[in-house]
Amino acid sequence: DTGVSQDPRHKITKRGQNVTFRCDPISEHNRLYWYRQTLGQGPEFLTYFQNEAQLEKSRLLSDRFSAERPKGSFSTLEIQRTEQGDSAMYLCASTGQIPYEQYFGPGTRLTVT
Amino acid sequence: AQSVTQLDSHVSVSEGTPVLLRCNYSSSYSPSLFWYVQHPNKGLQLLLKYTSAATLVKGINGFEAEFKKSETSFHLTKPSAHMSDAAEYFCVVSGAGNNRKLIWGLGTSLAVNP
C-alpha cells in the first residue's frame, strides 16, 4: 500500500499524559500537513512541512503541541500534558508536485479521559 | 481571507434521485476549490477539484461540480444517488501562498434512503 499511513489508529489516554502520533506520507511527497478534526466539524489546519522544514503553524497549535519531520520523510506530532479538549481525530496529509492535491491518511483518534 | 460555507448540514435523498450539495466560497483571488468525501471510519478522499481550468468539473463516482464565479458557488451534484454515496462531504478552498493549506467547510451529511 503506497498511501499515507498513520499510527496508532486509536489512542486513549488520561489527562496529563503525553502522546505521540506518527505519519508516514507517500514516499515521494515533499509536503506534509497535520489537521485536527472534531466531531461535526471540518478538519482544521495545524501545521505544515516542506521536506524537514516546518513552515507554518496554526495558532491552534499551543506550546503543548510539537511536530517534527527530522529527515523529511515521516512526521511525529506530540501533545504534552493532554487535556480533554485535545480529544479529536488527528489527520495527516501529504502532497507532491501538485500542492493542492492532498492525500489523507486514515487519522488517529485521540480520546483523553 | 478564504472561506467556504456549506449551506446544508444534512441532506437526505432517495436512492436513484439527484443529489445537490451546496457550497459558497469567499476568496480575494481566483481560488482552487475541492470536494472531499469521508465515509465512516475511512480517510478523506478527494472527489474532484477546480483549479481555474474548465468550470464544470467531473469527479469520481459520477459526481460533478460547477464553478460559478458570479454566484461564488461550487455546488456538488450527481444525477442518481446510490446507497454507497451516504457519507460526509466537505467543500474546501485552498489557502493563499505557497503552503496551500486547505480551508474546510463544516461538512454536509448525505443520507440515501432505499
pLDDT tens-digit series, residues A17-55: 999 999 999 998 999 999 999 988 889 989 999 999 998
Residue A37's pLDDT is 93
**Secondary structure (3-state) at B83:** helix
Label residue A24 exposed, middle or buried (CB < 10 Å: 0-12, 13-18, 19+).
middle
List of chain B residues whose C-beta atoms are within 8 Å of the C-beta of residue A103: 46
In the predicted structure, residue A56 carries a pLDDT above the cut 60 = yes
**How far, in whole angstroms, is CA A92 from its chain's centroid?**
5
State which residue of chain A sits closest to B96, comparing Cα positions: A100
List of chain A residues whose C-beta atoms are within 8 Å of the C-beta of residue B50: none
Contact B102 A102 (CB under 8 A): yes
Q: What percent of chain A has pLDDT over 90?
A: 72
> What is the pLDDT averaged over residues A9-20?
97
Residue B108's pLDDT is 97
Instruction: Determine the residue among B44, B45, B51, B57 to mutate to test chain A binding: the one whose Cβ has the most chain A Cβ atoms within 10 Å.
Output: B44
**In chain B, which stretches have pLDDT less than 70?**
96-100
- Closest CA–CA distance from residue A94 to any residue of chain B (Å): 11
Distance CA B45, CA B10 (A): 19
Instruction: Determine the residue among A60, A100, A104, A109 to mutate to test chain B binding: the one whose Cβ has the most chain B Cβ atoms within 10 Å.
Output: A100
Residue B97's pLDDT is 64
**How far, in whole angstroms, is CA A109 from its chain's centroid?**
11
**Which range among A54-68, A95-109, B14-28 has the greatest average pLDDT?**
B14-28
Residue A39's pLDDT is 85
Distance CA A68, CA A60 (A): 16
Mean pLDDT, rounded, of chain A = 92
Q: What percent of chain A has pLDDT over 70?
A: 97
State which residue of chain B sits closest to A94, comparing Cα positions: B101
Distance CA A98, CA A105 (A): 17
Q: What DSSP designation does B1 have?
A: -
Label residue A20 exposed, middle or buried (CB < 10 Å: 0-12, 13-18, 19+).
middle
Distance CA A45, CA A8 (A): 20
